[in-house]
Structure 1
Amino acid sequence: MSDIHALSSKPEREYCSTSEAAQMLGVSLGTVQQMVENGLLEAWKTAGGHRRIRIASVEDYLRKRSSGVSAAHPVALRVVVAEDDRIMQRLYMHTFETWGLPLEFRLVESGFDGLLEIGRQQPDLLISDLVMPGLDGFAMISKLRSDPKLAEMDIVVVTGLSPEDIAERGGLPDDVTVYGKPVPFKELKGYIQARLAQFQRRGRVAN
């Protein structure tokens, strides 16, 4: 018997679609996909590439959630993007939405706005341009890194400045990751997926 035939012989209602699982759990399709990748839900793929979720694993997850078991909750990465260019803001927003990852992202237009936003709720990741009106990225990052309460917040810079330009303006802390423009979304996605996996291993619960 072929593997495809064996899969197709599974009882019809033992499995549901990704959209059905999302409706049962009250979460987005992207969150369901992330839960499958993290092993929180059991699933398989049809010959046509469609994901099927084991209903029993969805029901088990719901039971654990209702009983207060926290380790199985999906995580969401909190991201602040500091970028003053409106076209770039829309590009970030559109790209993040197409990834289907559990992200909570906010957009700010200056370093000053970034400090205010981070003061309201500390993100896990700051993605920042350097050249912005008012308080620029250099000053904002210097202020953030002087606060020990923000030591675990990751900072990624995406800039059109050359390494020489950055050095002439005083440089950046060693723990800041720097990418050149255009925005390297492939690298950013890998970075974010790695952070999500790290949070999942630690058992962090999304707020």
Structure 2
Amino acid sequence: MAGKSDSNSEFISTAQAARQLGLSLGAVQQMVESGTLAGWKTAGGHRRIRQDSVDALLAHARSPSAPMRSNRERLRVMVVEDDRLLQNIYRETFLTWSLPLDVHLMEHGLDALVEVGREPPDLLIADLRIPGIDGFEMIRRLRDNPLSSDIAIVVVSALGPKEIAAAGGLPEDITVYRKPIPFHELHGYVQAMISMRRRARHPG
């Protein structure tokens, strides 16, 4: 979770953030824990969330920079994972969620880049140790390209923080989870994205 910031920043409660984002308290808590929202815990265990991080998330959801993606009714999710067993686990688990998802499974970083160029996903879930172009290089190229720089990216890897840092690190906006695949957290993340898209299309 993000550390406590300077005292001049405006902080709000989890309930206030949930109302602004149109999400459940649990979804907001998961977004704070994953670093998607910047916040900290008080000595009493209550979360305080930076208002500017909530504003940035809302602005991103309403951004017209990728109209083709934002106008889709279903969330397009790309999973880049070379382990066939894990691919099947992703596929079968997503099906049990009964959410409006279109899931595309890729094994190689280069193939994923080509597919992103053809039709960008709303969410990309990637391992870091993949054949050919690894996850680090794939993410760097996606972030350097204006056409894909706003794609939400979640890393699910067996690598720990020290190993990731030793390999050059990842952009600060990337949410990172450690394997085994944390489907509970991913479910909350995906639900939050769907709720925010609906709210962006139908404000008020």
Place the TM-score, normalised by the shorter chain, in its bin: 0.5 to 0.7
2:19: which partner in 1?
Answer: none
Structure 1 Cα separation of the partners of residues 132 and 153 of structure 2: 20
Q: 1:89 corresponds to which residue? A: 87
Cα deviations across residues 175-204 of structure 1 (Å, max 9, x unaligned)?
100000000000001000000001101118
1:165 matched to which residue of 2? Answer: 163
Aligned to 2:39: none
Q: In terms of Rg, which structure is larger?
A: 1
Which runs of structure 2 are paired with 1:64-79 in the superposition (5 Å)?
75-79=73-77
- 1:151 Cα deviation from its structure 2 partner: 2.5
Aligned to 2:54: none
Which residue matches 2:153? 155
- Mapped contact 1:79–1:127 kept (Cα < 8 A): yes
Aligned twin of 2:65: none
RMSD: 1.7
The 8 Å contact of residues 143 and 150 in structure 2, kept in 1 or not, is answered as no
Deviation of the 1:125 alpha carbon: 0.4
Query: For this pair of structures, how many residues does the alignment match?
Result: 133
The TM-score, its normalising length taken from structure 2, stands at 0.63
Cα distance in structure 2, aligned partners of 1:197 and 1:91: 24
Are 1:75 and 1:196, in contact at CA under 8 Å, matched by a contact in 2? no
Aligned to 1:56: none
SS at match of 1:107: strand
* Corresponding residue number in structure 2 for 1:202: 200
Q: Report the Cα distance in structure 2 between the residues aligned to 1:124 and 1:74, rounded to whole angstroms.
A: 10
Whether the 8 Å contact between 2:109 and 2:138 is mirrored in structure 1 is yes
Aligned to 2:5: none
CA displacement at 1:74 relative to structure 2 = 8.4
Question: Where does 1:27-106 land on structure 2 (aligned, <5 Å)?
Answer: 75-106=73-104
Q: Which has the higher contact order (CA 8 A, sep 6+)?
A: 2
The residue aligned with 2:32 is none
Map of 2:124 onto structure 1: 126
1:177 is aligned to 175
Whole-angstrom distance in 2 between the partners of 1:117 and 1:147? 14
Partner of 1:188: 186
Match of 2:112 in 1: 114
> 3-state SS of the aligned residue for 1:92?
helix
Q: What is the Cα deviation at residue 75 of structure 1?
A: 2.5
Instruction: Return 5+ residue gaps in structure 2 as ranges.
Output: 1-22, 24-70
Change (3 A) 1:74 1:125: closer
**1:62-103 deviations in whole A, cap 9, x for unaligned?**
xxxxxxxxxxx9821110000000000000000000100000
- Identical aligned pairs, as a percentage? 52
CA contact (8 A) 1:159 1:180 kept: yes
TM-score when scaled to structure 1? 0.62
SS state at 1:89 partner? helix
Q: 1-side partners of 2:88 and 2:107: how far apart?
A: 12
Matched, 1:144 2:142: yes
Read off the aligned partner of 2:200 and give its amino acid letter. Answer: R
Return closer, same or farther for 1:126/1:162 CA change in 2, 3 Å cut-off: same
Runs of 4+ deviating beyond 2 Å: none
